[in-house]
Amino acid sequence: MTQSPDARAAALLKELTLDEKIRQVTADMLFDVDGDYEARRDALCGSYRNPGHFMHQGRKTPASPKAVAERINRDVRCSIEAQPHGIPPIENGEALHGAQWGMTTNFPQPIGLASSFDPALVERVATVIGKECAAVGVRQVFAPVVNLVRDCRWGRTVETFGEDVKLTSDLGAAMCRGFETNGVIATPKHFADNYSFGGRDSNYAETSERTMRETILPPFKACFAAGAQSVMAAYNGWEGVPCSANKHLLTDILRNDWGFRGFVVSDYCGVEGLRTAHRIADSDAKAAALALQAGLDVILPFNRFHAVKAAIEKGYLSEADLDKNVLRVLATKFRIGLFDAPYCDEAAADSLVRCKAHRALALEAARESIVLLKNEGILPLQKSAVRRIGVFGESAKLIPIGSNYSGPYQAPWQGEDAPTPLEALQAYFGDAAEICFGESDAIETLAPTCDVNLYFTTILEGEGSDRSDLRLPAVRMHRTGEDTGGLIVDTAAQSVTENQEDAILRLCATDPDAIVVLQNGAPIDMTAWIDHTKAVIESWYPGEQGAKALTEILFGETNPCGKLPITMPKSVGQLPLFYAHKPSGRGYAYCDDDGLPLFAFGYGLSYTTFALSDATLTVTEDGADVSFCLSNTGGVEGAEVVQLYLASHDCETVRPVRELKAYERIALRAGESKNAVLHLSKETFCYYDAAMRFGLHDGGHTLLLGTASDNICASFEVSVHAQTLRKEEIKHSSPADEKSPWPED
| Residue 488 pLDDT exceeds 80 | no
**Distance between CA atoms of 88 and 43, rounded to whole angstroms?**
10
Region 353-368: what's the mean pLDDT?
98
**Distance between CA atoms of 701 and 655, rounded to whole angstroms?**
10
Q: Taking all residues of the chain, what is their mean pLDDT, rounded to a whole number?
A: 94
CATH code for residues 610-737: 2.60.40.10
Contacts of 341 (CB under 8 A, 6+ apart): none
| Residue 368 pLDDT exceeds 90 | yes
With bands split at pLDDT 50, 70 and 90, how would you rate the model's confidence at 738? very low
In this prediction, residue 745 carries a pLDDT of 42
Instruction: Pinpoint the residues of the chain covered by CATH 3.40.50.1700.
Output: 359-574
Contacts of 621 (CB under 8 A, 6+ apart): none
| Residue 10 pLDDT exceeds 90 | yes
**Distance between CA atoms of 576 and 149, rounded to whole angstroms?**
9
**Distance between CA atoms of 51 and 34, rounded to whole angstroms?**
10
| Residue 713 pLDDT exceeds 70 | yes
Share of the chain above pLDDT 70, in %: 95
In this prediction, residue 585 carries a pLDDT of 85
Render pLDDT for 294-337 as a digit per residue (tens, 0 to 9).
999 999 999 999 999 999 999 999 999 999 999 999 999 999 99
Region 466-495: what's the mean pLDDT?
66
Render pLDDT for 501-547 as a digit per residue (tens, 0 to 9).
999 999 999 999 999 999 999 999 999 999 999 999 999 999 999 99
**Distance between CA atoms of 497 and 550, rounded to whole angstroms?**
24
**130 three-class SS:** helix
| Residue 484 pLDDT exceeds 80 | no
Render pLDDT for 23-53 as a digit per residue (tens, 0 to 9).
999 999 999 998 899 999 999 999 999 999 9
β-strand 699-708 against 638-649: which pairing, if any?
antiparallel
Geometric angle at alpha carbon 301, from 300 and 307, rounded to 5°: 65
With bands split at pLDDT 50, 70 and 90, how would you rate the model's confidence at 416? confident
Instruction: Pinpoint the residues of the chain covered by CATH 2.60.40.10.
Output: 610-737
With bands split at pLDDT 50, 70 and 90, how would you rate the model's confidence at 478? low
Region 489-497: what's the mean pLDDT?
61
User: Closest Cα to residue 575, out of 647, 464, 469?
Assistant: 469
Question: Mean pLDDT highest for which of 359-368, 467-476, 726-735?
Answer: 359-368
**709 three-class SS:** coil
Q: What is the DSSP letter of 338?
A: T
With bands split at pLDDT 50, 70 and 90, how would you rate the model's confidence at 1? low
At residue 720, φ and ψ (nearest 5 deg) are -125, 130
User: Closest Cα to residue 233, out of 197, 205, 199, 200?
Assistant: 205
In this prediction, residue 588 carries a pLDDT of 78
At residue 262, φ and ψ (nearest 5 deg) are -85, -155
Geometric angle at alpha carbon 567, from 562 and 569, rounded to 5°: 125
Render pLDDT for 668-684 as a digit per residue (tens, 0 to 9).
999 999 999 999 999 99
Region 464-472: what's the mean pLDDT?
92
In this prediction, residue 476 carries a pLDDT of 63
Q: CA separation (Å) from 159 to 291, 317, 465?
A: 26, 36, 13
| Residue 125 pLDDT exceeds 50 | yes
User: Closest Cα to residue 627, out of 675, 564, 570, 699?
Assistant: 675
Amino acid (one-letter) located at 19: D
Instruction: Pinpoint the residues of the chain covered by CATH 3.20.20.300.
Output: 5-351
Q: CA separation (Å) from 69 to 72, 74, 104, 135?
A: 5, 8, 13, 7
Question: 676: part of which helix (H) or strand (E)?
Answer: strand 673-681
The CATH class, in words, for 359-574 is alpha beta
Region 67-96: what's the mean pLDDT?
97
The CATH class, in words, for 5-351 is alpha beta
In this prediction, residue 490 carries a pLDDT of 55
Geometric angle at alpha carbon 243, from 237 and 245, rounded to 5°: 115
With bands split at pLDDT 50, 70 and 90, how would you rate the model's confidence at 735? very low
With bands split at pLDDT 50, 70 and 90, how would you rate the model's confidence at 590? confident
**Distance between CA atoms of 458 and 469, rounded to whole angstroms?**
14
User: Closest Cα to residue 666, out of 728, 732, 606, 588?
Assistant: 606
